[in-house]
Amino acid sequence: MHTFSGAVEHALAHIEEAAVHDMPQEQQRWYAIKIFERDEKILNQLKLDKSVLDHIEDDIKAAENELDDDAESIITNERYVYIASIIKSCYRKKNVVKLSASDKIDRVITNRWLALPIFAIVMFIVYYVSVTTLGTIVTDWANDTLFGAWIQPGVQSLLENIGAAGWVVSLVVDGIIGGLAAPIGFALQMAVVFILLAFLEDCGYMARVAFIMDRIFRRFGVSGKSFIPFLISSGCGVPGIMASRTIENEKDRRMTMMTTTFIPCGAKLPVIALISGFLMGGAWWMAPLMYFSGIAIVIISCIIMKKMRIFAGEAAPFVMELPQYHLPALRGVFLSTWERVCAFLKKAGTILFLCCAVMWFLGSFGIQDGFFGLVDTEYCLLATIGGAISWIFKPLGFGTWQAVASSLSGFVAKEGIVSTMGVLSGLGSVKEYGASMHAQFAAFFPTGIAAVSFLFFNLFDSPCLAAISTLSRELGSRKFFWFALLFQNVLAYCIALMVYQIGGLIVGEVAFSIATVVAFAVLALILYLLFRRDPNKQSLRLVEHSENRMAA
Amino acid sequence: MLIWITENLASIAVCAVLLVIVVLIIVHMVKDKKKGKTSCGCNCAGCPMSGDCRQHEK
């Protein structure tokens, strides 16, 4: 018989003695291992007494603490050790002593203590290069030269020369081109991010990241399988939600679908770039900060949800093959980047085009002096709609109707936020494109912290229409769908509220008010939900205990 | 009427072009929706099993 490591054997011996000693000898070990793994079916079948279960749980936890892993993974690992011992006795490798290059790299990259800091450094480098250095050069060229000096003045003079009416020139130049210029200007910056991410995916590093994150996610009750949808969602939420299909456990699958869009997708990059690049004075650290905030919010959401009865249960184990490190094929990196950039430009040519036209109409037409038609900005339909609901967003710091209207357009497509801001700031009519752009956008937000709050709300509220419709289809339940939408929007609101009120108080941009008290109350509630005891574990024990008593 | 059209011919032509573009975009989006494509370019239609999957919905 194969012998496990000391800590496991110690726990198994205790379990055998406490729970299965009256069973046939040959079955005792198998049942003990299953109890050690906390196998629900076996635990239900055995109907153990509460005191026995508590005693066993102490032994399992002692083994988990000693081996710094969860019980299920410990047994999986022991099985691999056993398999390796069999292979060692019957198969001889040529380079048995030498570690491969991948093994050597993995010793550092997937090291227990170094893995996460290395991941953070890699992501910081990716965004530093794309947002601050190379990306800024190409984006500035697109904004200042391509659109600012060539396309917009060119189209404007063409339309004026053929005698088009002023409102038609405004629709085409300010509305459509001005609206599309803002997100398309970021397309080149996004291309740099996509190239770097494709390189990391292709060389085998991202697979290691899944492995690293599995250890962390499992501690919070989420299967490592959930990390793949989260990883895919950094590109687009739609395939991210669909990738959740690989999770067998229905509760885990639904939880993953509801939280996967918290990871900022490619469409949210222009919004991050806008706030960090223009409004925060080129703060390159903002993009990685948003990605790590996304991961933190996913973890916080999962911990809170796992304590709800509808999502309670153990996380499924995650097994994956790690590919060897290799130099990525240039063709693969290029194709991956090209596909993503094309999808973005296609979206700009379709949905954003319509979005810009509609936003221009709503931002130019309205009722003034009792007549419907072209009106001054403060009388337009968008100002009326945005102004009517802006009080909801006042505690978040962005109570201007322009910021509210931009947020609303984000529900159609997240890039729409940037294009709407482009339309509302009237970029087409200004000559010094770059400098004016900063001032116009900044006018929507009274303070810097309000812009950050706006960014947090728009990154973590419900996703675009395409992702929402996919979520509805994949969840397969109206009840869960509405719960997901409500959860995402309420959570985003609470986060933005805390960022603005508490963050603003710290940096001295916000005065203490009732909204600050509410923000602290929300923070206290979130901390309580995070650290309270899991009521489901307690009730599960009580049910088992009462069942045992009834059986007796 | 004819004078008004003549005076605003440029505006009418630009509006007509924009209208055609908008109609084409809407038709394209409806077609994509029917095919199961999403605006992100990564979707059911791009899956190798798209021919077999969700037959009951087609």
- pLDDT tens-digit readout, A440-494: 777 788 888 999 999 999 999 988 877 887 788 788 888 999 999 999 999 999 9
pLDDT at A506 over 90: yes
Average pLDDT across chain A, whole number: 83
Element (H, E) at A374: strand A371-374
Query: Residue B41 is nearest to which of A159, A346, A354, comparing CB atoms?
Result: A346
The rounded radius of gyration (Å) of the Cα atoms in chain A is 28
More confident position, A507 or A223? A507
Q: How far apart are CA A214 and CA A520, in angstroms?
A: 32
Report which of A230, A233, A242, A225 is spatially closest to residue A472, judged by C-alpha positions.
A242
Report which of A3, A74, A2, A77 is spatially closest to residue A36, judged by C-alpha positions.
A74
Average confidence (pLDDT) over A170-195? 80
What's residue A140's pLDDT?
76
Residue A185 is classified by DSSP as: H
Which residues fall within 8 angstroms of residue A169, CB to CB, at 6 or more apart?
A156, A159, A160
φ, ψ at A222 (rounded to 5°): -110, 140
**Least confident among A19-33, A156-170, B42-56:** B42-56
DSSP A186-253: THHHHHHHHHHHHHHHHHTHHHHHHHHHHHHHHHTT--GGGHHHHHHHTT-HHHHHHGGGG--SHHHH
In the numeric block, the tokens 């093994």 are attached to: A103
Query: Residue B42 is nearest to which of A162, A168, A239, comparing CB atoms?
Result: A239
Closest-CA residue of B relative to A344 is B40
**Least confident among A6-20, A27-41, A127-141, A264-278:** A127-141
Q: Percent of chain A scored above 70 by pLDDT?
A: 91
Q: How far apart are CA A262 and CA A460, in angstroms?
A: 5
Q: How far apart are CA A407 and CA A246, in angstroms?
A: 33
Kindly list the residues from chain A whose CB atom is less than 8 angstroms away from the CB atom of residue B26: 354
Distance from CA of B39 to the nearest CA of A (A): 6
Contact between A146 and A188 (Cβ < 8 Å): no
Q: Do B18 and A239 touch (CB under 8 A)?
A: no
- Two tokens, residue A287: 């993009």
CA A309, chain centre distance (Å):
24
What's residue A514's pLDDT?
93
What's residue A488's pLDDT?
94
pTM (whole model) above 0.80: no
Size of interface A-B (CB pairs under 8 A): 65
Query: Domain residues of chain A, as ranges?
Result: 6-98, 116-315+326-346, 353-535
Q: How far apart are CA A537 and CA B8, in angstroms?
A: 74
Kindly list the residues from chain A whose CB atom is less than 8 angstroms away from the CB atom of residue B28: 350
Q: Do B28 and A239 touch (CB under 8 A)?
A: no
Which residues, given as ranges, of chain B have pLDDT below 50? 48, 58
Q: Do A339 and B25 touch (CB under 8 A)?
A: no
- At A368 the three-state DSSP class reads strand
> Between A187-203 and A205-219, two packed helices, what is the crossing angle to 10 degrees?
90
What's residue A267's pLDDT?
82
Q: Do B43 and A238 touch (CB under 8 A)?
A: yes
Q: Long-range pairs for A324-329 at CB < 8 Å and ≥24 separation?
A: A324/A100, A324/A102, A324/A204, A325/A101, A325/A102, A325/A105, A325/A203, A325/A204, A325/A205, A326/A203, A326/A204, A327/A203, A328/A198, A328/A199, A328/A202, A328/A203, A329/A202
Q: Do A343 and B42 touch (CB under 8 A)?
A: yes
The rounded radius of gyration (Å) of the Cα atoms in chain B is 20
Average confidence (pLDDT) over A280-291? 79
ipTM at complex level = 0.78
Q: Which CATH number fits domain A6-98: 1.10.1330.10, 3.30.565.10, 3.40.50.150, 1.10.287.1770?
A: 1.10.287.1770
Contact between A145 and A103 (Cβ < 8 Å): no
